[in-house]
C-alpha cells in the first residue's frame, strides 16, 4: 500500500486518556450538533466560559449573515485567560519565553495577572483608552505583546496586531483604517542574532494621515538611537512600574468586538477581520483542548508569530484560556543552526509542537539529521497549519520528529474562522497523510459545486461552511457590504447564502477532506496569505510599469512563490538593465507592503493575455509560470499571439 493511502491509527494508550477517544464519540458529538445545534453550542458555552452574566440566546440569525452568538451574556476574555486560573494555577508557568539570542523568561499565571493588570491600568489611566477604542500593536515576539493583547481585552479596547514584517506604508494604512488611538511597539527586535528596528517604522508610518494616533508606547529592549517625540512617545519600562497591579475587568457583551486582524483578499486592500468576545474565546479554548489534547502538566509550543491569526488563537488566547503553558519564541528555527527547534523541544520537554509545512521543509532540507542529536521523546502531538503539507514533508515530520508515535494534526482554518475547522483528533481519527480529514464536532463543512450541490467522491469542489459557528468573523471593519460579498456572496445552499472559504477541496470515498488550495486570486507563500491585487497595486507605483499581473508558482519549499508579469509603459524605454528594474520593483514592494511580498520572479513581457472584455486570463499566466503546456482555448483572446511571446520571454 502506498504511504499516502495508509491509515495511521491513534495510539491506544493515548486514546484512552484523550478528550475525544474514538470515532464513535466524534460521531455522537456531530449527531448531537446536527439534531440540536443551539443545544450543543449552548452546552459548551456553559461548560467552558466563566460568565459574569448568562446569555439569553445561543444563536441569533435574524440579521444573517451578521450572526450573533450568546447574546446578552457578559464576560471578560482576560478573566477567562488569567483570573479564573489563579485559584489552582497561580504558580504554574503561563508563558515560557525564549528570545532569538537565547535569553529566557518564565512568567507564571500570577505574574501574568500582575503584568496584564498594570498594562491595562497604564492604557486606561494614562492614555485614556476606553472600551471600543482601537489599539494597534506592532510588536516583536516578546511577552509584552501578549500582555498588551490581554490588557486590551481587559479594558474592552479592540486590538489590531500588525505583523512586524510589514512596512511603514502597510502599517499606516491599517492604523488609518482602524482609526487607532494608541500604537504599542518596541524599540527593536532580534533576528538571527542581529538587531532590527521597529520604532522607526512606526515613526515613518505616523508621518502622514494618522492624526487619530495620540500616544505611542515603546517597550525598550536596549536598542540605541531611538528618537522620542515629546508628548506622543512613552517608555513602557518607565511607566509600567508606576501602575497598580489590580484593574477590574470590563464587563463585555458576548458580541462586543475583541480584535481586528487585517488579512488579504482576492481584490482590493486588506480587510479588517473582526472577531467577537464569547464565540471566539469559546472555540479558541475548545479547539486547543480537542486538537492538541493538552494535559495539565504539558508544555505546548506553537512557532507562529502573533502578527497572524495562528499566534492570536494558538499562542495567546487558546492556551491561556485553558490554563496551559505556552512557549513564545522570538527567533527562527534555523538559527544558530537547523537544530534550534529540536534543542528547544528537548530542553523544555515540549509535548505538543505546532508549525507550518514550510518550516518543516526548510528544516528537513537544511538539517535532515539534526533531530537525531536531540531527545524528542516528550512529544505527543504534532500539528501543521497554513498550507497543504506534501507527503515527503509529512513523512519526515512523522518519522524523524514524532518518532512514528505522534499523530500529525493537519489543521485547516483561516483568519476568518478564528479557530480550527477541519483536522484530525489525535486520540480518535485514523489519519491519512497530508489530509485535513474531518470537520471538528459542531462544524458543518461541505465541498460543493458552484450551484450549491455536493461534489461526488474524488471530484474537486469549493469548501464551504453551511452553518454559522461561534468563532466566525463578524464583519469586515467599517465595511459590512464587503463582508457579505466576500464570504456570503457566491454560493447558496437551499436558497440561503453560505460561507465560502475561497479554498478548493476534495472529499474521498471515505469522506476524508483534502484541501487543494485557494481557488481565488490569493497566493500562499510559506503559509502567509497575499492578495495578488495588493502586490499588483504596489508594483504599479513604479513609474515605468504600465500593466502587471501577479500569479503564484508552485515552490518546493515555500508552497508558492510570487511570479510577476510586467508590461512597461514604453517598451523602448532606455531604462537600462532589466536586472536593475527588477531590483527597483522589489524595493517598491518592500516599501509598500514588506519584504514578505517581494517577487521571486519578475518577467518583462510585451503584453498580457486578455479577453476581449479586458479581463486578464490568469490561468494562462499560471500555466506559463509553471512551464506547462497551454491547454486553454486562446482563440477568444484579444491577441492570441501574445501567449507565444510571453512564453518566449519566460523561457528566454
Ligand atoms: C488560508 C488561510 C489558518 C491559519 C494560518 C493561515 C490555507 C490554512 C491549511 C491547511 C491547506 C491551508 C488556506 C486558507 N490553509 N491551513 N491545513 N491545509 N491549506 O491563515 O492567512 O487566514 O490563510 O491558508 O488556503 O484559506 P490565513
Does ligand 1 come within 6 angstroms of the Cβ of 418? no
Helices (H), 234-374: 236-240, 278-292, 309-311, 318-321, 340-348, 357-366
Instruction: Indicate which atom in ligand 1 lies nearest the CA of residue 410.
Output: 17
CA distance 293 to 437: 17
Average pLDDT rounded to a whole number, residues 603-610: 95
Average pLDDT rounded to a whole number, residues 73-86: 98
CA distance 531 to 523: 6
Cα of 387 to ligand 1 centre, how many Å?
A: 5
Cα of 413 to ligand 1 centre, how many Å?
A: 5
pLDDT grade for 573, boundaries at 50, 70 and 90: low
Q: Which of 161-170, 192-201, 284-293, 623-632 has the lowest mean pLDDT?
A: 623-632
Whether residue 605 contacts residue 646, with contact meaning beta carbons closer than 8 Å, is answered with yes
For the chain, the average pLDDT equals 96
Considering only CA atoms, which residue is closest to atom 5 of ligand 1? Answer: 386
Average pLDDT rounded to a whole number, residues 296-318: 98
Cα of 358 to ligand 1 centre, how many Å?
A: 12
Predicted pLDDT of residue 570: 82
- Residue 465 pLDDT more than 60? yes
Does ligand 1 come within 6 angstroms of the Cβ of 386? yes
Whether residue 124 contacts residue 155, with contact meaning beta carbons closer than 8 Å, is answered with yes
* Residue with more model confidence, 639 or 571: 639
Considering only CA atoms, which residue is closest to atom 2 of ligand 1? Answer: 414
Does ligand 1 come within 6 angstroms of the Cβ of 502? yes
Predicted pLDDT of residue 496: 95
- Residue 633 pLDDT more than 90? no
- 319 in helix, strand or coil? helix
Considering only CA atoms, which residue is closest to atom 24 of ligand 1? Answer: 386
Residue indicated by cell numbers 495511521: 8
CA distance 381 to 104: 24
Residues in the chain: 652
Burial class (CB in 10 A: 0-12, 13-18, 19+), 292: buried
Instruction: Indicate which atom in ligand 1 lies nearest the CA of residue 423.
Output: 17
Cα of 603 to ligand 1 centre, how many Å?
A: 28
Task: Count Cβ neighbours within 10 Å for each residue of 599-609 and write b for 16 or more, e otherwise.
Answer: beebbbbebbb
Cα of 129 to ligand 1 centre, how many Å?
A: 33
Pocket test for ligand 1, best of 476, 487, 529, 532 (most atoms within 8 A of CB): 529
Considering only CA atoms, which residue is closest to atom 14 of ligand 1? Answer: 414
Predicted pLDDT of residue 651: 87
- What are the backbone dihedrals phi and psi of residue 451, each rounded to the nearest 5 degrees, phi first? -85, 5
Instruction: Indicate which atom in ligand 1 lies nearest the CA of residue 436.
Output: 17
pLDDT grade for 268, boundaries at 50, 70 and 90: confident
Cα of 517 to ligand 1 centre, how many Å?
A: 8
Q: Count of alpha carbons within 13 Å of 509, Cβ hemisphere only?
A: 1
Contacts by residues 574-577 (CB-CB < 8 Å, ≥ 24 positions apart): 575/544
> For 374-401, how does the pLDDT look when each residue is reduced to its tens digit (9 = 90+)?
999 999 999 999 999 999 999 999 999 9
Instruction: Indicate which atom in ligand 1 lies nearest the CA of residue 413.
Output: 3
Predicted pLDDT of residue 652: 77
User: Across-strand partners of 401?
Assistant: none
CA distance 401 to 370: 10
Considering only CA atoms, which residue is closest to atom 19 of ligand 1? Answer: 387
- Crossing angle, helix 532-539 and helix 578-592, to 10 degrees? 120
CA distance 186 to 236: 9
Average pLDDT rounded to a whole number, residues 172-178: 98
The closest of 337, 394, 405, 348 to 371, measured between CA atoms, is: 337
Does ligand 1 come within 6 angstroms of the Cβ of 518? yes
Does ligand 1 come within 6 angstroms of the Cβ of 412? yes
> For 498-539, how does the pLDDT look when each residue is reduced to its tens digit (9 = 90+)?
999 999 999 999 999 999 999 999 999 999 999 999 999 999
Cα of 386 to ligand 1 centre, how many Å?
A: 4
Does ligand 1 come within 6 angstroms of the Cβ of 30? no
CA distance 466 to 126: 46
| Cβ partners under 8 Å of residue 263, min gap 6 | 270, 271, 273, 309, 415, 416, 529
Does ligand 1 come within 6 angstroms of the Cβ of 263? yes
Average pLDDT rounded to a whole number, residues 166-183: 98
Does ligand 1 come within 6 angstroms of the Cβ of 526? no
Q: What is the percentage of the chain residues whose pLDDT exceeds 90?
A: 94
Cα of 262 to ligand 1 centre, how many Å?
A: 15
Pocket test for ligand 1, best of 275, 515, 552, 558 (most atoms within 8 A of CB): 515
- Residue 223 pLDDT more than 90? no
Predicted pLDDT of residue 267: 85
Cα of 613 to ligand 1 centre, how many Å?
A: 33
Average pLDDT rounded to a whole number, residues 425-453: 97
- Residue 247 pLDDT more than 50? yes
Cα of 420 to ligand 1 centre, how many Å?
A: 10
- Residue 574 pLDDT more than 80? no
Predicted pLDDT of residue 4: 58
Instruction: Indicate which atom in ligand 1 lies nearest the CA of residue 389.
Output: 18
Cα of 364 to ligand 1 centre, how many Å?
A: 21
Predicted pLDDT of residue 1: 47
| H or E element in which residue 568 lies | strand 559-568
**DSSP structure string for 378-432:** T--EEEEESSPPPHHHHHHIIIIISTTTSPEEEEB--GGG-S--B---TTTPPB-
Amino acid at each position: 500500500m502506498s504511504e499516502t493511502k495508509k491509515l495511521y491509527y491513534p495510539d491506544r494508550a493515548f486514546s484512552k486518556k484523550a478528550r475525544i477517544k474514538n470515532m464513535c464519540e466524534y460521531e455522537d458529538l456531530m449527531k448531537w450538533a446536527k439534531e440540536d445545534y443551539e443545544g450543543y453550542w449552548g452546552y459548551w458555552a456553559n461548560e467552558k466560559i466563566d460568565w459574569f452574566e448568562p446569555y439569553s440566546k445561543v444563536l441569533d440569525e435574524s440579521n444573517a449573515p451578521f450572526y450573533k452568538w450568546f447574546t446578552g451574556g457578559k464576560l471578560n476574555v482576560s478573566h477567562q485567560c488569567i483570573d479564573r486560573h489563579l485559584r489552582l494555577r497561580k504558580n504554574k508557568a503561563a508563558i515560557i519565553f525564549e528570545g532569538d539570542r537565547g535569553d529566557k523568561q518564565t512568567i507564571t499565571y500570577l505574574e501574568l495577572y500582575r503584568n496584564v493588570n498594570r498594562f491595562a491600568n497604564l492604557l486606561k489611566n494614562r492614555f485614556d483608552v476606553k472600551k471600543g477604542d482601537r489599539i494597534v500593536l506592532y510588536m516583536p515576539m516578546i511577552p509584552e505583546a501578549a500582555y498588551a493583547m490581554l490588557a486590551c481585552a481587559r479594558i474592552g479596547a479592540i486590538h489590531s496586531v500588525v505583523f512586524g514584517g510589514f512596512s511603514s506604508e502597510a502599517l499606516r494604512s491599517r492604523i488609518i483604517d482602524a482609526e487607532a488611538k494608541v500604537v504599542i511597539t518596541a524599540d527593536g527586535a532580534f533576528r538571527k542574532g542581529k538587531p532590527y528596528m521597529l520604532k522607526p517604522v512606526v515613526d515613518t508610518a505616523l508621518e502622514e494621515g494618522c492624526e487619530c494616533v495620540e500616544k505611542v508606547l515603546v517597550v525598550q529592549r536596549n536598542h540605541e538611537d531611538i528618537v522620542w517625540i515629546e508628548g506622543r512617545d512613552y517608555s513602557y519600562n518607565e511607566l509600567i512600574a508606576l501602575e497598580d497591579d489590580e484593574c477590574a475587568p470590563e464587563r463585555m457583551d458576548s458580541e462586543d468586538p475583541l480584535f481586528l486582524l487585517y488579512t488579504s483578499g482576492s481584490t482590493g486592500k486588506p480587510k479588517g477581520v473582526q472577531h467577537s468576545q464569547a464565540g471566539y474565546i469559546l472555540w479558541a479554548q475548545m479547539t486547543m483542548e480537542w486538537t492538541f489534547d493538552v494535559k495539565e502538566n504539558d508544555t505546548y509550543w506553537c512557532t507562529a508569530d502573533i502578527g497572524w491569526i495562528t499566534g492570536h488563537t494558538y499562542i495567546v488566547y487558546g492556551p491561556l484560556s485553558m490554563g496551559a503553558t505556552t512557549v513564545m519564541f522570538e527567533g527562527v528555527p534555523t538559527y544558530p543552526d537547523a537544530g534550534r527547534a529540536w534543542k528547544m523541544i528537548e530542553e523544555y520537554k515540549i509535548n505538543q509542537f505546532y508549525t507550518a509545512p514550510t518550516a518543516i521543509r526548510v528544516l528537513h532540507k537544511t538539517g535532515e539529521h539534526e533531530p537525531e542529536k536531540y531527545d524528542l521523546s516528550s512529544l505527543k502531538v504534532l500539528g501543521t497549519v497554513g498550507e497543504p503539507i506534501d507527503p515527503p514533508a509529512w513523512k519526515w515530520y512523522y518519522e524523524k520528529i514524532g518518532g512514528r508515535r505522534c499523530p500529525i494534526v493537519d489543521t485547516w482554518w483561516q483568519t476568518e474562522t478564528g479557530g480550527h475547522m477541519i483536522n484530525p483528533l489525535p486520540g480518535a481519527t485514523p489519519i491519512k497523510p497530508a489530509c485535513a480529514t474531518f470537520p471538528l464536532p459542531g462544524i458543518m463543512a461541505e465541498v460543493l459545486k458552484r450551484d450549491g450541490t455536493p461534489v461526488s467522491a474524488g471530484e474537486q469542489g469549493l469548501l464551504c461552511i453551511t452553518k454559522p459557528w461561534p468563532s466566525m468573523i463578524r464583519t469586515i471593519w467599517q465595511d459590512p457590504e464587503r463582508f457579505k460579498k466576500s464570504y456570503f456572496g457566491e454560493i447558496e445552499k437551499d436558497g440561503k447564502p453560505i460561507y465560502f472559504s475561497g479554498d478548493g477541496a476534495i472529499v474521498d470515498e471515505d469522506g476524508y477532506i483534502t484541501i487543494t488550495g485557494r481557488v481565488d486570486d490569493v497566493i500562499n507563500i510559506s503559509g502567509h496569505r497575499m492578495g495578488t491585487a495588493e502586490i499588483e497595486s504596489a508594483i504599479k507605483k513604479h513609474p515605468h510599469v504600465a500593466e502587471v499581473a501577479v500569479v503564484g508558482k508552485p515552490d518546493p519549499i515555500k508552497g508558492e512563490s510570487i511570479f510577476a508579469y510586467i508590461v512597461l509603459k514604453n517598451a523602448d524605454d532606455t531604462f537600462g538593465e532589466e536586472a536593475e528594474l527588477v531590483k527597483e520593483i522589489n524595493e517598491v514592494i518592500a516599501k509598500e507592503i514588506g519584504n514578505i511580498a517581494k517577487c521571486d520572479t519578475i518577467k518583462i513581457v510585451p503584453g498580457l493575455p486578455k479577453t476581449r472584455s479586458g479581463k486578464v486570463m490568469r490561468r494562462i499566466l499560471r500555466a506559463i509560470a509553471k512551464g506547462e503546456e497551454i491547454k486553454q482555448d486562446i482563440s477568444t483572446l484579444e491577441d492570441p499571439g501574445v501567449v507565444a511571446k510571453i512564453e518566449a520571454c519566460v523561457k528566454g
